Structure 1
């Protein structure tokens, strides 16, 4: 299960947060703290993965609203971004119908 972790202190590192979870009794399978792509500054939230859903649910119950480096963490199941139903790039799709009529007029039997 993918977890959203919010209200992380900006100066916190992945290692410090992983250690905090370990002290709370939970091993994370992965952890990513989100950073501004231009400045590299921490954005105050991240995502963790715990492959066992039951363990992940317990981690949410135990760790949500707990203090980490002077801030109260918000931990819940990550949800997909709203409006992220994009299929990727904008240049794909069918070409059918683009110029076909004009082409048929110039080249009968095409």
Structure 2
């Protein structure tokens, strides 16, 4: 399973994201897409973890958490469709709750 992390601060780095998710278990891969035309981060990432139970815990805890001034959207990534898109965002939700998460690398 891959975790989708949306509404990321454009200042967030792969190391920052790894630090956050490492609190929940072993991170095996991070993808932080860059716009081809501008060379800037696109505001979302994908994270893979070694254990699905740890991924589920990270999703439950981090979805709706505020980090670097933005409310994260964290859920299971959807597989790409035949046209290359990942589909709509109808399943994204926000818990609007405060968490113990307060990592701020800046």
Per the alignment, in what secondary structure is the counterpart of residue 33 of structure 2?
Answer: strand
Structure 1 alignment gaps of length 5 or more: 86-110
Q: Deviations over 1:26-79 (max 9, x none)?
A: 332111111101221011001010131111111111111111111111110000
1:75 is aligned to 2:74:
yes
More helix by share: 1
Tell me the TM-score normalised to structure 2 length: 0.70
C-alpha distance in structure 2 between counterparts of 1:55 and 1:31, whole Å:
15
Pairs within 5 Å for 1:1-110 = 1-22=1-22, 24-84=23-83
Indicate the structure (1 or 2) with the bigger Cα radius of gyration: 1
Alignment RMSD: 1.6
Tell me the TM-score normalised to structure 1 length: 0.68
